[in-house]
Amino acid sequence: MNKKVVLFIVIMVLISLLLRSLYTQYKFITIAKDQKGLEKVKSLEKVILFYVPFSPFNKIAVDELKKECQNFSINDEKLYCYETLRTSLIQIRSVYQPYQEVLDEIIPIIASLRAKEMIGWEFNNYTKSDFNTLYKNQIKLLMYDNTPSYFWSFIVGFSLIGWISSVIFLIWKGLGENINVLNVFWGLLAFVSFFSLWILGLYMA
């Protein structure tokens, strides 16, 4: 198979994956327009989880989910909505956190709702006088930073690019009539090195 054809196929696969994510975001945004309540929350959550950098659907989903959370009148439903927004944003975090300002805005709301739920639970002995203590504890819990190491996160990204590039290099140099054994050797060595570093980075991060 021609090397250019192989490279073209790899690029097309990456583009198709990107387009699939964008289409999935569009599909669930469209579905959410005809939904209300918890069903709408679930559809908007899926849009966020299929996060694509610079996609316009990201902001639409976040803003719509915030608005939907505000519309709930029952505390446990409101809490579920805000928790869904928070966890979905945390799940798309990589070397940086998208929509950090939204997280900063909703964390105090979640802490307050959690404290009220704990006071209202019949099996707890908390009263309204315990609200401030419970609220502060929840704030500490929600603000706890378990962000992966930035150094190892960088290593993960760098090594991922490295081993993908080495595979492309092997395809480019390893196919054809005049195969250079030295190029194949260095390509394999680079692949093994970058792939091992990638695994180590995932473990350490």
Task: Give the count of beta carbons closer than 10 Å to the beta carbon of residue 79.
Answer: 19
Q: What is the CA radius of gyration of the chain?
A: 24
State the pLDDT at residue 26.
97
Percent of the chain beyond pLDDT 70? 95
| 161 alpha carbon, distance to own chain's centre | 19
Q: Where are the alpha helices (DSSP H) in 37-177?
A: 37-49, 56-71, 75-91, 100-120, 131-143, 150-174
How far is Cα 200 from Cα 152, in angstroms, rounded to an integer?
9
In one-letter notation, the amino acid at residue 168 is I
pLDDT given for residue 180 in this prediction: 76
Reported as a single tens digit per residue, the pLDDT across 164-198 is 988 888 887 766 667 777 888 888 899 899 999 88
What is the pLDDT at residue 68? 96
Answering whether pTM is above 0.75, one says no
Q: What is the mean pLDDT of each run of 10 residues along the chain (205 residues)?
A: 76 91 96 95 97 94 97 94 96 87 97 95 89 96 80 85 87 72 84 90 77
pLDDT of residue 167: 86
Q: Which helix (H) or strand (E) is 69 found in, with range? A: helix 56-71
